[in-house]
Structure 1
Amino acid sequence: MKTPTLKNRIKIGLLSLALTFAAVLGFTISSQAQAVKNVVLVHGAFADGSGYKALYNELTKKGYNVTVVQNPLSSLEDDVKAVTIALDKQDGPAVLVGHSWGGTVITEAGNNPKVAALVYIAALQPDKGETSVQWLQTAPPAPENGVLAPDDKGIVYYDKAKFHAGFCADISKEDADFMYASQGAFYAKGFGTPITNAAWKTKPAYGIVATEDKSINPDIERAMYKRSNTIITEIKGSHVVFISQPKAVAAVIIKAAENASVKK
């Protein structure tokens, strides 16, 4: 058997190097961003998951698999547990979306490895060691705001007489009445529980400012999002902008999904 010449050895070496490079390149391409098609929606206080119907419709007709979490609203820990159960059932990466108090919940629950991105809808966004109530106290409430003091069971309610104007002014009275009737009982201790690990520090975050919000001062939303380098979109709407402007809100969620980079 002939010994390969120097020229042939060089050719063989270059071919081996090319094959190795191709294999590495192929691995890199196959391990790049996996499409994110799951969306998990987390509601806030004075509401339940039924308010997400219009947003659900917008997302599902675009091909997204949407899960609506029903928060117990009994504590931050209980709500995080409910979200974690929903995330663990996803068949791949997900965009985690929170409205209002739900923003605090996704800030903690968003550390789940299934979470590819976070979307805050007129939502609270505390940092580690901070509470929701700290942020709520940084700007004066609107006159329409109807959040009442906790009752003897520690449950916070929204004044029924102010609910439409203060919570959801840009939807019909009939829909506002249904929202009021279907809301969960929110325990005030959640507002006073500090975050232990803020997911927005390690996950891409998108924030929607509802410019006509009377329940959370829009300046509070802007300040939180600016502090965390969240990508901000301002949409004209009440605190329930996801009901009154579902297409605009869906567009932000879809942008988060399309931009998310998740390794296979």
Structure 2
Amino acid sequence: MKIYISLLVLALMVGMRTPAQTKTIRKPTIVFVHGIWADGSSFAKQIKALHASGYDVKSVQNPITSLSDDVVATQRIIDQIEGPVILVGHSWGGFVISQFSQESKVEGLVYIAAFAPEMGESVASLNEKVSNTTLSKYFIVQNSFVYLSEQGVKTAFAPDLDAKDQALIYATQTPAAQHIFSERSKDPAWKNKPTWYIVAKNDKAINPDLERFMAKRSKGKTIEISSSHVIMNSHPKEVLQVIKDAANYKY
């Protein structure tokens, strides 16, 4: 009888310990937010690598018809997710992810050659802080939307990609409604969430000095890469590592 009771107690103790022993820490979901003249597939290399490492990933398809429309599109994705989220924004996508200061699921922000506005700032007002890049020379305006010419992709947007990748960007670009360049930011998320920033040292779309200014102001963990504006395409492994650093940060 005593042996039976001892075995029963031991079994109960083991049973009580099992949940703690099998409990796993859930990885955050990585949510990509693309910029102008791009789409959600521009992060394809990072998405494949993150899937291989066991991360759940979502990539927003921004309409780029207004800041609020892009915020709503991103919020729809966040609402589908259970657990923590890391927002990754490229270019204009940085403006979008900055609007999520009050979203409790969002734990960290990664800016890839991206706008990181202060409250009340617009793309236009930020660009006034530095000398102009060559990108605007290649704008094509049609029906109040701004497209990028094929030469603009090759010369200013993605000059360090091969011809096939440049052609793909040109073919799949999402144009921007003209008025978004003057839309103003709300109180930004980088003020209350851990932030990482990748500066594109050879950027001809956003002035690298503006990127440095925004990175420093956000107190983000910053690295610089000798790349054009589309760092996620030309330096996929380096970008991937920064995203993983953000995902593994002890929040």
| 1:79 matched to 2:70 | yes
Q: Which runs of 4+ in 1 moved over 3 A?
A: 142-147
**How do residues 97-116 of structure 1 correspond to structure 2 at under 5 angstroms?**
97-116=88-107
Match of 1:240 in 2: 230
| Paired residues of 2:149 and 2:170 also in contact (CA < 8 A) | no
Match of 2:211 in 1: 221
| 1:255 matched to 2:242 | no
What amino acid maps onto 1:168 in structure 2?
A
Match of 1:52 in 2: 43
Summarize the Cα distance change of 1:154–1:36 in structure 2 as closer, same or farther, 3 Å threshold: same
Match of 1:120 in 2: 111
| Paired residues of 1:209 and 1:222 also in contact (CA < 8 A) | yes
Summarize the Cα distance change of 1:156–1:144 in structure 2 as closer, same or farther, 3 Å threshold: closer
**Secondary structure class of the residue paired with 1:157:** strand
| 1:182 matched to 2:169 | no
What amino acid maps onto 1:60 in structure 2?
H
Bigger Cα displacement from structure 2, 41-50 vs 53-62: 53-62
CA separation in 2, counterparts of 1:221 and 1:184?
22
Match of 2:31 in 1: 40
Identity %: 39
Q: Deviations over 1:180-211 (max 9, x none)?
A: 11011211211211112211111111100011
Offset of residue 145 of structure 1? 5.5
Summarize the Cα distance change of 1:110–1:251 in structure 2 as closer, same or farther, 3 Å threshold: farther
**How do residues 53-202 of structure 1 correspond to structure 2 at under 5 angstroms?**
53-143=44-134, 146-148=137-139, 150-151=141-142, 153-202=143-192
| Paired residues of 1:43 and 1:69 also in contact (CA < 8 A) | yes
- Flag structure 2 segments of 5+ consecutive residues without an equivalent: 1-19
CA separation in 2, counterparts of 1:35 and 1:195?
32
CA separation in 2, counterparts of 1:118 and 1:143?
28
What amino acid maps onto 1:160 in structure 2?
E
**Secondary structure class of the residue paired with 2:99:** helix
| Paired residues of 1:168 and 1:239 also in contact (CA < 8 A) | yes
Aligned partner of 1:203 among 193, 200, 206: 193
Q: Deviations over 1:106-160 (max 9, x none)?
A: 0013532110100000000101111111112222233465442644x32112122
- Flag structure 1 segments of 5+ consecutive residues without an equivalent: 1-28
CA separation in 1, counterparts of 2:46 and 2:137?
25
Bigger Cα displacement from structure 2, 134-143 vs 233-242: 134-143
| Paired residues of 1:73 and 1:79 also in contact (CA < 8 A) | yes
Summarize the Cα distance change of 1:194–1:185 in structure 2 as closer, same or farther, 3 Å threshold: same
Mark the structure with the bigger radius of gyration. 1
What is the alpha-carbon root mean square deviation over aligned residues? 1.9
Match of 2:13 in 1: none
Count of aligned pairs between the two proteins = 229
Summarize the Cα distance change of 1:115–1:144 in structure 2 as closer, same or farther, 3 Å threshold: closer
Match of 1:19 in 2: none
Q: Deviations over 1:33-61 (max 9, x none)?
A: x5433100000001111111111112221
